Structures are given as C-alpha cells and as structure tokens.
Amino acid sequence: MNNFSNKHRQKLTEQLTCEEFDVLVIGGGITGSGIALDAATRGMKTALVEMQDFAAGTSSRSTKLVHGGLRYLKQLEVKMVAEVGKERAVVYENAPHVTVPEWMMLPFHKNGNFGPLSTSVGLRVYDFLAGVKRSERRKMLNREETLNRAPLLKKDGLLGSGYYVEYRTDDARLTIEAAKEAARNGAVLINYTKVTDFIYEGSKAVGVTAEDQWTGKTYQIKARKIINAAGPWVDTLRSKDGSKHGKHLRLTKGIHLVFDQSVFPLDQAVYFDTPDDRMVFAIPRDGKTYAGTTDTVYEGDPAQPNMTVEDRQYVLDAVNYMFPDVNISSGDVESSWAGLRPLIYEEGKDPSEISRKDEVWEHKSGILTIAGGKLTGYRKMAEIVVDKVSKKLKEEHNIMYQPCQTKQWPLSGGDVGGSESFNQFVNEKVQTGIQIGLSEQEAETLAKRYGSNVDVLFEYVEKRKQEADHSSLPPSIYAQVMYAVEEEMTGTLTDFFIRRTGALFFNINWVHQWKEEVQKLMGEELEWSEEQHERYRTELEDALLDAVKPVNEERKENLTS
C-alpha cells in the first residue's frame, strides 16, 4: 500500500487509531513536514495530521526563496544570518529539483538606503556568515554593468549594484517532498484532519481527538509526545491546551503579484528598496515575473488571507518606482497570492522589524510548540525540536533513538546525484521522455518538477496511454494528475492546481484550459459524489477569482456573511 495517497485514507485512519505513536505532529506545513521526516528517519513511530492540505497555509504562500536572510543583517540578527545561510546549501543539496540558484541584484541609487560601501561590506559579511561557496560570492557592478543586466531599472541616480546568490524554490513542492519522504520512512501522514481537542492522563497530554474534514467523523490518536507546529494556528491549539501564556503570535500578511513577461520583461531578479524604506523582490520565473511583498498586521481568518486593493496598489507603486518604464497597472496583474507570517510578537515593533527567529516552548502538559522561523531553516528547526523529544523519550520511557539524520538525506525526488549532477540528470530524462512520445518541453518540465520521481510519471505516460486517450488530457498532464492522486495525497482541484503544480499562480490560463478534464479524471479516481464535484469546482473557481481580484468592501461582506 502506498501510504501517501487519499485512495487509502480509510486504512491510514485505522492505522492512526490503532497504534500509539512516539511523536504526533500537528501541522503539515514545511515545519511540521520537516519534523515528521526528522523523527521518522531517527526511527521514531511518527504521525502527522493537517487541518487543510499539506502546505495550504504559509508554506505555499511565501516569496518562494530559500534565502539567507540578508535583510536581517540590517537588524543585527547575526546568528540568524549565519544559521539560515548555511542551511540554504543543505536544502539545495537535498532537493535540487525544487531549489534553483538565482543571482540577485541589489541596486543602489544616490541618496538611497544603500550605497556602494554599505552594500559591499554588507554582502561581504553576509558571504562570510552564511558560508557562501566561492563561485557564489558577491560581486559589485558599476552602473553600466547593472543596466546591462536589468535595463528597465530606474536610471535617475543609479550608481551600481551588489550581485549575490539567493535560491529560488517551489515552497509547496518542497513541503510535499519532505512529507513524502517522511511517509516513505514509515511516518503516517494525513491531510484534511483537524485536531479538535487534546486527551489527558492527569495533567499530561497523551493524544488528540481529530475530525476528518470530509466525513465529519472523529477519532482518537495516542502519542507519547505531541508537537504543535500549526503555523498561524499554534496559539489556537495553545488555547485548547490552556497554555497560551507569555509570548504569542503576531500574524503579518504579505502579497505577491504575477505578470506575464510581455508586460514586465525581467531577466534578472532584483531586490530593491522602496520610498518607505521597505524591501521588495521582483523575480523572473517560467515566462512570468512576480513581485512582492507587503508586510501588514493581519487579524482576520488565517485560512483566508486575501489581497486588498491597498495591498495591490502598494506593490504596483513599488514596481513602477523602481522600473518606471514598465508602467504597469492593476489590469496587468495576471495572478496573485496572499500569505501569513506567524511571527513571535515583540512589543512596540513595526511588522517588518519583528524578528523571524524560531522558538520552542514546552508546556506543563508536555506538549511542545514551535513558533516563528523561516522556510530556509525548516530542517534545523526540526532537528532542535526532535532533539528535545528524543531527550524526553529517553528520560521518561528509556527509549534511545539515533541523532539527526537529515543533513545529508535527499528529499523525495532529490536523489539525483547532488546539485552538480542535476542538469545532466535532466538532460538524460528529457531524452527518455522524448523516446516515449513527449515533447522536449513536456519532458523537461516533468524532470525538473519531479526530480528522481520522474520515472514514475513516465510509467503513467507509457503504461496508461490507452486510459489517457479516453480523455482529452495530454499524456503529460494525465501523468501529473494520476501521480498527484496516487502518490501525493491530492484530494481536491485546488490541491492539484495550486500546491502540486503551482499553475494557478504561474500558468493561470492552463488552469482554465484543463480544469474540467482534470476534475473529471480526479472525480473518477477518487470516486467523488455529485456534492464533492460541486464543492471542489466552486472552491477552485473562488481561488481563481481571488487570484485576480482584490477584496473590496462589497466582497468582504460577502466573504464574512
């Protein structure tokens, strides 16, 4: 049985109810998935429940960078820069199919926040702290070199730029690959399952009551140790446990806008300062350019953060300020997303100044909560938490486990011989794909997206070609849908179009083109009822609308009524 498929949901549920686990993780974002992987690879009997889909919260709504935290040098967060900078390289080596080096330009203008000296010194310190390899260390570019790489930059007062490497990622797929690897190592993970209460023996938490969000059925899961890694919802769970004391979360919202390259032609990623002293990214990706982010306090429903008219205008104004010849407007926005940062509240600090550091809190009930942190540091965060669990299990149950194994442990799809071999791997797989009838572009897309799992998709293309011919789905799309359903715990249309493929953000026309055929195939495979067909279709249509239209006052009333 593949233990990461919603086709086997009933058996997974039975497994969760029949066994006692060493560790139960609440939350299927990158933090929770990373913890599940760490625990499982040490030999712990591990379970994970996620209220929505894997990565449905913060972990599919970031700036999609595994970056070293250059901005935190400005706040003198030296330790954080050193830690996450080094972790960047680890993430890249373990998952080169979802992490790509991206040279980033940091332009400086006369009377701007940055100058040649401060930029040069800052980037040099950054290289040192983050342990950046020689080939990726910073360079300083003069005005002419800067404009050669980014001719649309504001020329008035331009002095030059710093040039350094960040790592672009698919945040949702990074999360999925971590979760799949945890499952491959014995962890039991399930999505659309909400923790409604904790179970106690005396004062100690020994399990949870969970509710299946599709069927409404409730069941109990027993575990020696429970880890609250619920991101924006960690305080909700702390309240259930009666342990919401002292520090708490402050949610801030960030939005990103997506433009077609024909509207915003950008070949070079740029990280630039705005008139109000904030920093914004503009990044090319797959024929699109996306820009963001905002940083505003958010107090609404964590499951439904929406872009407002003001959010959209802020990013448009920032882009037009730094790229005045582009002259974009709201009508040029092809797609967008809004996400939340679950930060640890610091009295009197502006949202953009609040530290992104993570903290682990142990409550009287024995529950561990991990809060804050960054995408880049997920593996190290997991190591710290599971170290604490391992120590407790040894003290309380005399059980010994291995130390952390994940520093050189490829994620699912990452077994390609390391980052230096990835391009060769892709070239070889493209030839294989062409031999079975795919176009070069289709084969390359699959190889880059799925890494060493691409052979499984090629099997779907070959062995199920006859089945695919019964629909109008091309074999490459058919293979992705089948793989998502049978190997990636996909249960709804938004799971597929947002978190398994990223298409709703970066290829929204493709979603419109294929949504009906994908719905038909998924419905057949997962035996959807008419009610499910309607619900998932409506959910996708709402997501498509949210991607292009900001929330105005009228829609706010509709959403809250």
299 in the same domain as 229: no
Instruction: Determine the pLDDT at residue 68.
Output: 64
- Residues 185-222, buried b or exposed e (16+ Cβ, 10 A)? bebbbbbbbbbeebeeeeeebbbbebbbeeeeeeeebb
523 in the same domain as 435: yes
For residues 142 and 180, give the distance between their C-alpha atoms in angstroms, rounded to a whole number: 46
Instruction: Determine the pLDDT at residue 409.
Output: 97
Q: What is the mean pLDDT of residues 236-257?
A: 90
363 in the same domain as 244: yes
Give the pLDDT confidence of 100-116 residue by residue, as tens digits. 989 999 999 998 777 88
214 in the same domain as 227: yes
**Residue keyed to tokens 């293309």:** 461
Q: 225-234, 243-252, 388-397: lowest mean pLDDT where?
A: 243-252
Q: What is the mean pLDDT of residues 123-131?
A: 80
Domain of 51, in residue numbers: 6-58+172-248+356-408
Among candidate residues 324, 344, 364, the one where a domain is terminated: 344
Domain assignment present for residue 561? The answer is no
190 in the same domain as 316: no
255 in the same domain as 236: no
300, pLDDT greater than 70: yes
393 in the same domain as 441: no
Helix, strand, coil shares of the chain, percent, nearest 5, are 45, 20, 30
Domain assignment present for residue 558? The answer is no
282, pLDDT greater than 90: yes
Domain assignment present for residue 301? The answer is yes
CATH number for the domain spanning 21: value is 3.50.50.60
> Over the Cα atoms of the chain, what is R_g?
23
Instruction: Determine the pLDDT at residue 247.
Output: 81
Domain assignment present for residue 75? The answer is no
Q: How many CB atoms sit inside 10 A of residue 239's CB? A: 11
Average model confidence (pLDDT) for the chain? 91
Among candidate residues 370, 385, 408, the one where a domain is terminated: 408
Domain assignment present for residue 284? The answer is yes
Per-residue pLDDT band for 560 (boundaries 50, 70, 90) equals very low
455 in the same domain as 307: no
Total number of domains in the chain = 3
Instruction: Determine the pLDDT at residue 352.
Output: 55
For residues 27 and 184, give the distance between their C-alpha atoms in angstroms, rounded to a whole number: 18
Domain assignment present for residue 110? The answer is no
Instruction: Determine the pLDDT at residue 555.
Output: 44
For residues 25 and 5, give the distance between their C-alpha atoms in angstroms, rounded to a whole number: 18
182 in the same domain as 217: yes
466, pLDDT greater than 70: no
379 in the same domain as 328: no
CA 473, 475, 480 angle in degrees (round to 5)?
85
For residues 390 and 401, give the distance between their C-alpha atoms in angstroms, rounded to a whole number: 7
Domain assignment present for residue 65? The answer is no
Chain centroid to Cα 126, Å, comes to 24
362 in the same domain as 440: no
456 in the same domain as 380: no
- List, in order, residues 6 or more apart from 41 with CB less than 8 Å away: 185, 402, 405, 406, 409
129, pLDDT greater than 80: no
Among candidate residues 316, 344, 372, the one where a domain is terminated: 344
Domain assignment present for residue 531? The answer is yes
CATH number for the domain spanning 331: value is 3.30.9.10
